[in-house]
Amino acid sequence: MRITAVIFLFITSFFSAQAQIFDPNNLGSGIEDPIKWEAGLEKENDSIYTLVFTAFLERGWHLYSQEVVDIEIAPIPTAFTYTEASGKYELLGSTEEPDVPAKYDAVFEADITYFENEAEFRQKIKVFDPQDLVITAEVYYSVCDDEKCLPPDTQRFTISIEDNKIVEGFTNLEVSDKDQQLTEALNIDVKGVGGVALEEEESSGYTTIFFLGFVGGLIALLTPCVFPMIPLTVSFFTKGARTRKKGLVNAIMYGVFIFAIYLLLSLPFHLLDSVDPEILNNISTNTTLNVIFFLIFIFFAFSFFGYYEITLPSSWSNKMDDKASSFGGILGVFFMALTLAIVSFSCTGPILGSLLGSSLTTDGGATQLSFGMGGFGLALALPFALFALFPNWLNSLPKSGGWLNSVKVVLGFIELALAFKFLSNADLVEHWGILKREIFIGIWILVGIGLMLYLFGILRFPHDGPKTKLSKGRIFMGIITLAFVGYLIPGLTNTPSANLKLLSGFPPPLFYSIYEKETEGPLGLKAYKDFDEGVAAAKAESKPILLDFTGWACVNCRKMEEQVWSDPAVFKIMQEDFILISLYVDDRKSLPEDQRFNYQKPGGGVKEIKTIGDKWATFQTLNFKNNSQPFYVLLDEDMNMLNQPVGYTPDSDEFREWLEEGVAEFENSRSR
């Protein structure tokens, strides 16, 4: 039972780790420019023309549809505007875009229509008088990859219908002395900054998913469908063979075939993946499929509780058993392994279903699924090979009994908890509001209480034997479950303790709450939205500045605020030791007329600075040679950088250490 308790501890880590969304700090460095635009003009007849705009995107970047997406944090839609020329031409309908289905977007965690690699937009017009007709077309857009979004930008094309000539850029814009003065006013002369180079961190989830699949296989070994088969099968090979060597070979091949069978189960998903690399993600992360997974997991849970059995047709196992007997040799061993896979499905099926659902809904794809299935098959296969090699080990195995049913019931509670994760995914995308964060956590608390009552023998299920004295293993697991429930309870409150850092990424986000949240600043922190006001406050209070380049549509910015800034130690430092200045680079509020200007880009071209977002995006680019968000800089009131700026940093300890480093440098500079 000690082994059982250890394996139970793995169960929680197995499933919770599956649901984590891996966001590598792969921000690159400098200024990103992953999209290029071209324009063309097609003549249908003397009066009908089509304006053609083509976007070319670097690999991995997305350009979003003109459709407005109704989610909490949404991408900036692409928008086309055309100059009016009364009596000269008219638009025929709206600007047409590529007809592609909505896909799951990893940044916004929702099904969204976006374009990759190349996208063509077409606007049909009717020309009444082509003479001297010049149309100015502007496209407003923003692009994202799987980790970040860039500030919105505008591309302009000047199209001469009569001459069939197209000029790209803001050619009519001039940079006046006033423009240069306003540009220079944004230059804060930061000391110690050059091109900001952030280290890239690469990682693969294949090793992790293989290990998690292996743990899932170990769990499956402790179920009533598999565990009793170990001594029976090993004894058959070691005693039924003509020679011991032959028996050992057969037993080892039996294990190899078990591993191969589970690995082959992922083959159909590779075939789907080869047809369309996005198909697995598209079919598995939409609302409908998440609801289906929710219902399947509920079905699995009640099967584990013992209310019914999920089995494959008995004719399948009988047929495989007959083939194993008739063929003999290696082929017969293969059919024996296939028989085990079929017979044990009632126990392994729900675990495999969890592995499948978790791999697909975390965008793992077919390759990650193969690693998980391979790990699962290896864990099931190893005991048969090892016990055949060392048959004396069989004496150390615990006897089959009621504890095997207890394992199934515990798995049932875990399946029940997991089911609501899938329902939560659908709820977040559709904004049904039925599983706010506190409601989700409350359901988990109820599931945890149910598991605790079962482990302590108060709650009973159909296949439980007569009541006996509680084993040390059940008492231990009951205490662990009680502690976990206690950990969840603060998640029901509207306090900093509601963050539940150990479960970060699993419950709905902190903003998706039944409580009203502070809106002045993230987590109720005092945040200045104007740089000069923030600097004045820093000078008045003699505090360093935390400069936060963020965006309303920046998902990773929200993740930093909810999962890292909410850490009590981080929150305390930010609240007490820093002046927070949050500059939103996608704020569409117009600047006062006297603050608007034309910005001469270092790489050529001129950009109109008309909105607050334009101003702060230019401010970031000009001073820090970087245009991605989130982006954090620590400064003193004299614009000295206190340490190296950082981007998305999901580790709260790492972010806290970065803040503490800045505080220490600030204090040292005061004493010098």
What pLDDT score was predicted for residue 23? 34
* 487 within 8 A of 500, measured Cβ to Cβ: yes
* 620 within 8 A of 627, measured Cβ to Cβ: yes
Task: State the CB neighbour count (10 A cutoff) for residue 441.
Answer: 23
* 263 within 8 A of 380, measured Cβ to Cβ: no
Q: Is the dihedral of CA 385, 390, 392, 396 positive or negative?
A: negative
What's the mean pLDDT in 404-420? 81
Residue 19 CA to residue 22 CA, distance in Å, equals 9
Task: Say which residue, 341 or 633, is predicted with more confidence.
Answer: 633
Q: Which amino acid is at 225?
A: C
Output the furthest CA–CA distance in the chain (Å, rounded): 98
* 333 within 8 A of 248, measured Cβ to Cβ: no
What pLDDT score was predicted for residue 417? 86
Task: Say which residue, 246 or 544, is predicted with more confidence.
Answer: 544
Please give the CATH number for the structural domain made up of 522-671: 3.40.30.10
DSSP state of 78: P
Write out pLDDT tens, residues 479-518.
999 999 999 999 898 887 787 867 755 677 666 788 875 5
Q: What is the band of 13 on the pLDDT scale with cuts at 50, 70, 90? A: very low
Task: State the CB neighbour count (10 A cutoff) for residue 637.
Answer: 18
The closest alpha carbon to 210, from 259, 254, 273, 147, belongs to 259
Count of all residues that appear for the chain in the document: 672
* 671 within 8 A of 49, measured Cβ to Cβ: no
Task: Say which residue, 192 or 375, is predicted with more confidence.
Answer: 375
Residue 397 CA to residue 293 CA, distance in Å, equals 36
What pLDDT score was predicted for residue 579? 93
Would you list the domain boundaries of the chain? 2-19+203-503, 522-671
The per-type count for the chain, helices as H runs and strands as E runs, is 20, 19
Query: What is the phi-psi region of residue 533: left when phi exceeds 0, alpha when psi lies from -120 to 50, beta otherwise?
Result: alpha
Sequence-distant (6+) residues with CB within 8 A of 29 are: 195, 196, 197, 198, 626
Residue 34 CA to residue 342 CA, distance in Å, equals 50
What's phi and psi for 588, nearest 5 deg? -90, 5
What pLDDT score was predicted for residue 380? 80
* 120 within 8 A of 62, measured Cβ to Cβ: no
What pLDDT score was predicted for residue 594? 87
Residue with tokens 């104007």: 530
Regarding pTM above 0.85, the answer is: no
* 266 within 8 A of 381, measured Cβ to Cβ: no
Q: Is the dihedral of CA 98, 99, 103, 105 positive or negative?
A: positive
Task: State the CB neighbour count (10 A cutoff) for residue 360.
Answer: 21
Q: Which two tokens stand for residue 2?
A: 């000690």
DSSP state of 565: T
- Judged by average pLDDT, the poorest of 176-180, 252-256, 601-605 is 601-605
Residue 233 CA to residue 239 CA, distance in Å, equals 10
Write out pLDDT tens, residues 576-591.
999 999 998 877 788 8
Write out pLDDT tens, residues 265-313.
777 766 655 444 444 444 444 567 678 778 877 887 887 787 876 654 5
What's phi and psi for 23, nearest 5 deg? -120, 95
* 30 within 8 A of 625, measured Cβ to Cβ: yes
- Across-strand partners of 127? 89
Residue 105 CA to residue 513 CA, distance in Å, equals 23
Q: Is the peptide bond before 101 cis (omega within 30 degrees of 0)?
A: no
Helix (H/G/I), strand (E/B), else coil: 590:
strand
Q: What is the band of 2 on the pLDDT scale with cuts at 50, 70, 90? A: very low
Residue 388 CA to residue 258 CA, distance in Å, equals 15
Helix (H/G/I), strand (E/B), else coil: 286:
coil
Q: What is the band of 194 on the pLDDT scale with cuts at 50, 70, 90? A: very low
Write out pLDDT tens, residues 376-394.
888 888 887 777 666 666 6
Residue 615 CA to residue 186 CA, distance in Å, equals 8
Radius of gyration of the chain (CA): 31
* 219 within 8 A of 7, measured Cβ to Cβ: yes
- Judged by average pLDDT, the poorest of 60-74, 134-148, 351-365 is 351-365
Q: Which two tokens stand for residue 380?
A: 């099931």
3-state secondary structure 227-280: CCHHHHHHHHHHHHCCCHHHHHHHHHHHHHHHHHHHHHCCHHHHHHHHHCCCHH
Residue 311 CA to residue 638 CA, distance in Å, equals 72
Q: How far is residue 396 CA from its own chain's centroid?
A: 43
Residue 563 CA to residue 555 CA, distance in Å, equals 12
Residue 571 CA to residue 565 CA, distance in Å, equals 5
What letters, b where the CB count within 10 A reaches 16 and e where it falls short, cover 48-72? ebebebebebeeebbbbbbeebebe
Q: At what angle do helices 402-430 and 472-488 cross, to 10 degrees?
A: 10
**Strand pairing category for 110-112 and 103-105:** antiparallel
Q: Which two tokens stand for residue 125?
A: 């017009």
Average pLDDT over the chain, rounded to whole? Answer: 76
CA distances from 287 to 110, 214, 299, 428, 506 (A): 9, 29, 19, 9, 17
Helix (H/G/I), strand (E/B), else coil: 340:
helix
**Strand pairing category for 165-168 and 527-528:** unpaired
